[in-house]
Amino acid sequence: MRQLDWWQSVDVGGIAFTATPAQHFSGRSLFDGNSTLWASWVIVDDDLRVFFSGDTGYFDGFRTIGERLGSFDVALVETGAYDAQWPYVHMQPEDTVQAHVDLRGRWLVPIHNGTFDLAMHRWYEPFERVLGLAAARGVALSTPRMGERLDLAAPHRGERWWRHVMEAAEAPEVSRGLVARLFACSSAARANSKGNA
């Protein structure tokens, strides 16, 4: 394990990792609040330059990171679990797109969204909002499915997968039927594999 201050770097197997500023509270117990730095990361592998925001609010540090270490082929930037009362720790989609522009990113991949309900907005709202905002500002947006492999050297637009999930969730009789069919197929496959063993 290595501890780094902001702007310090470490090389791991030929890949350079630089700890860069982020804006969030820190702490693991009742008595160590904000005693450590919260970091974002710049990752450089030969010609590939990636920015990873981690969990952060919007602040002028994005512009500084872009000026000092940008431009970036891919910027993975938080958008989700936001609320107007939490601007210092979570970004609204407008902030996400602005951070991407500040960073001088080529492709924006929105992260920190769609998995847990940590705020009052619907789980898919960050995707819809960032999609419209990115299009309005001419930002290339990649929205891979949860768990989908994304080639950082050649990102793709991705499909608007959350819309299919929303539709399935709004039609419970369809989703129950789908689950029953998937379960039946899975059971048949297991029985078939046991029979061939």
pTM: 0.83
The two tokens of residue 41 are: 């990361």
In this predicted model, what pLDDT tens digit does every residue of 87-121 receive, in sequence order?
888 999 999 999 999 999 999 999 998 887 788 89
In this predicted model, what pLDDT tens digit does every residue of 79-95 receive, in sequence order?
988 999 988 889 999 99
Mean pLDDT of the chain: 88
Burial of 146 (C-beta count, 10 Å sphere; 0-12/13-18/19+): exposed
In this predicted model, what pLDDT tens digit does every residue of 63-74 receive, in sequence order?
999 999 999 999
**In the prediction, which pLDDT does 195 show?**
54
